[in-house]
Chain A
Amino acid sequence: MAFSEDLKERIKKIMSKYETKQSALIPVLHEVQREYGWLSLDSMKEVAELLSIPPADVQNVATFYTMFFTKPVGKHIIWLCRTLPCALRGAQQVEHYISEKLGIKPGETTPDGKITFFEAECLASCGTAPVMLVDDELYENLTRKKIDELIEKLRAD
């Protein structure tokens, strides 16, 4: 696998904004993950080459941050907040509801590859708990109806 010219151009553009090549690493990993959905060993090696840093440094960073995936994930990602303010307003119940509905536990992907379900630590929306981040959108004051509609939409996509 090699990055397309288009992706390489975008990476160069990102690099031009930063003081050092390494400081472009996190923005570049976001960009590569947007393209492929996750960060394979090959992609990490290619990023290392473009940024002139050791591949181990790229892998080190990619595995430190929870939003970078070094294994394939589903087409859609559900991040359900589990931390105290959400837990006090039913996050554990929501987790069981979603788990039962999808037939998977947190950390797993549905067999059709559509949805990966993760627990998240505090999503900074404690006033509208329980909440979850689904791809790029936050869903607040979760109810069964909201969850049902959303999962139906994700499955159909």
Chain B
Amino acid sequence: MPEMRIIRSYVDRANSETIESYIASGGYTALPKALRMDPLEVIEEVKKSGLRGRGGAGFPTGIKWSFIPRDSKKPVYLCCNADESEPGSFKDREIIERDPHQMLEGIIIACYAINAHKCYIYIRGEMPKGARILERAIREAYEKGFLGENILGSGFSLDVILFRGAGAYICGEETGLLESIEGKNGEPRPKPPFPAQVGLFGCPTIINNVETLACVPHIINRGADWFASIGTPKNTGTKIYGLSGCVNRPGLYELPLGIPLRELIYEYGEGTRFGRAIKAVSPGGSSSAVLTADELDIPMDFDSLAKAGSMLGTAGVTVIDESTCMVRVAQNLAHFYRDESCGQCVQCREGTWWLEKMLTRIEEGRGRMEYLDTILDACSQMKGTTICALADGCAMPVESIVRKFRHEFEEHIRLKRCPFESRYMGVWEED
């Protein structure tokens, strides 16, 4: 089966990042259509489409937009979250580098809908190429009159500023992102107030993910009903799934929401490398609870994965095969979150640090049986107790790995060494 390409339609075309290419393939036709609609009608259409945020949380986009007060005395902002940093996620990079005008058109329409006249695109510092491409795309859009004063004679004006981050996973958290634009450490804010009331510079602000915004022109052009007819009733549209780890064909696959995980791995990813059995799958970026080989028939949508105790997140699927030591997997992830914790909340600052420490001891043969319950206890105290979800993002995968692969941890402790022969956790194609 071929992919169902909507957002990825033109990514393989030469020069797909230029405005000429975008216009030649029907781009910037949704914008004039949207500008003829009432802003509230645009919001209504996006609500009707059922579009849910593609950045991880899956919150309905149209409803989020409707939280912006219509009579705001303060300026309204849109921030496009292009800080793609979730391990396993690499979908936004492709949109940014291969079809930036698609997201820009979505940005302009979104700003029109919420009455924002300034948008910040927050791109992570580690994407210098994406930043170069976006700078050029923004310039091109100004030259063609899609940005700036009185866009296409509509009376609507908009400025877009590209803001480069400087290396911090936490800035992908929406209020961490706002702090960063304000020139501060990316330390998430307690909520409420929510950004739609008090956001950037204290003004009403919407933060949307790149892929979410790239869906918007298609919804305006082809209608909410068309979009809602794809996927399942509460999980509409296509999703760009990222497949990585121990598969034969890692990469991006755009498919209707709700495709079974097994089909994604075996049909699109062409199965596992060296035909090895699957041990675990991280289905929605590293912050999601891992699934076992018995759980591959789960539909890949927001609600089905939540029901299974995990999450769709960014739909970055990482496949882990039988040759992999799960203690090392947990240790690798705990290291990531310990490194990326902003340090504001004790549960996160200390919890990620202790988890990494205990997991390292177990891996190095210095663990004790009682560590396992201590780890689970720490995980439960890290969940839902902090300002943002980073601590949960560490606790969920670690807890699921310890629960589902407890025997591997016990074996390490009993043998006082790692039972896996290789000193490395993965296989380099070179060897």
Interface of A with B (CB < 8 Å)? Answer: 17, 19-27, 29-30, 51, 53, 57, 60-61, 64-68, 79, 82-85, 87-94, 120-130, 133, 136-138, 141, 143-144
Please name all residues of chain A whose beta carbon is closer than 8 Å to the beta carbon of B89 when the two chains form the complex. Answer: 122, 124, 126
Contact yes or no, A122 B85, CB < 8 A: yes
Contact yes or no, B428 A67, CB < 8 A: no
Please name all residues of chain A whose beta carbon is closer than 8 Å to the beta carbon of B430 when the two chains form the complex. Answer: 90, 93, 143-144
Please name 26 pairs of A and B residues whose Cβ atoms are closer than 8 Å in the assembled complex, sorted by A. A20-B183, A21-B183, A25-B184, A26-B180, A27-B163, A27-B164, A30-B125, A30-B166, A57-B183, A61-B184, A67-B125, A67-B126, A82-B335, A84-B332, A84-B336, A87-B332, A88-B425, A90-B427, A121-B85, A122-B89, A122-B286, A124-B84, A126-B88, A126-B318, A128-B250, A138-B129
Indicate which residue in B85, B181, B245, B428 contacts A85 across the interface (CB closer than 8 Å): B245
Given the known A-B contacts A65-B167, A68-B166, A91-B426, are A125 and B90 also in contact in the complex, defined by CB atoms under 8 Å?
yes
Contact yes or no, A84 B286, CB < 8 A: yes
Of all chain A residues, the one with the shortest Cβ separation from B316 is A126
Given the known A-B contacts A26-B180, A124-B89, A126-B88, are A65 and B426 also in contact in the complex, defined by CB atoms under 8 Å?
no
Given the known A-B contacts A61-B185, A84-B87, A90-B426, are A121 and B125 also in contact in the complex, defined by CB atoms under 8 Å?
no
Contact yes or no, B242 A89, CB < 8 A: no
Please name all residues of chain B whose beta carbon is closer than 8 Å to the beta carbon of A23 when the two chains form the complex. Answer: 181-183, 201
CA of A67 to CA of B431 in the docked complex: distance in angstroms? Answer: 32
CA of A89 to CA of B87 in the docked complex: distance in angstroms? Answer: 14
B320 at interface, CB cutoff 8 A = yes
CA of A93 to CA of B163 in the docked complex: distance in angstroms? Answer: 35
Minimal beta-carbon separation of B138 from chain A (angstroms): 12
Indicate which residue in A17, A24, A87 contacts B426 across the interface (CB closer than 8 Å): A87
What are the 5 tightest A-B residue pairs by CB atom distance, in nearest-first order?
Answer: A90-B428, A25-B183, A66-B167, A65-B166, A126-B244
CA of A22 to CA of B243 in the docked complex: distance in angstroms? Answer: 39
Please name all residues of chain A whose beta carbon is closer than 8 Å to the beta carbon of B165 when the two chains form the complex. Answer: 26, 65
Minimal beta-carbon separation of A33 from chain B (angstroms): 9
Interface of B with A (CB < 8 Å)? Answer: 84-90, 92-93, 124-129, 161, 163-169, 180-186, 201, 242-246, 250-252, 282, 286, 316, 318, 320, 324, 328-329, 332-333, 335-336, 339-340, 342, 423-431
Of all chain B residues, the one with the shortest Cβ separation from A146 is B430
Contact yes or no, A84 B183, CB < 8 A: no
Please name all residues of chain A whose beta carbon is closer than 8 Å to the beta carbon of B333 when the two chains form the complex. Answer: 84
Contact yes or no, A66 B168, CB < 8 A: yes
Task: Give the one of A65, A79, A91 with max B CB within 10 A.
Answer: A65
Minimal beta-carbon separation of B203 from chain A (angstroms): 9
Contact yes or no, B85 A125, CB < 8 A: no
CA of A82 to CA of B331 in the docked complex: distance in angstroms? Answer: 12
Minimal beta-carbon separation of B126 from chain A (angstroms): 6
CA of A90 to CA of B429 in the docked complex: distance in angstroms? Answer: 7
Contact yes or no, A93 B424, CB < 8 A: yes
Contact yes or no, B429 A143, CB < 8 A: yes
Given the known A-B contacts A27-B163, A67-B126, A89-B245, are A124 and B85 also in contact in the complex, defined by CB atoms under 8 Å?
yes
Task: Give the one of A19, A30, A83, A94 with max B CB within 10 A.
Answer: A83
Contact yes or no, B86 A122, CB < 8 A: yes
Please name all residues of chain B whose beta carbon is closer than 8 Å to the beta carbon of A65 when the two chains form the complex. Answer: 125, 165-168, 186
Contact yes or no, B244 A127, CB < 8 A: yes
Task: Give the one of B88, B244, B328 with max A CB within 10 A.
Answer: B244
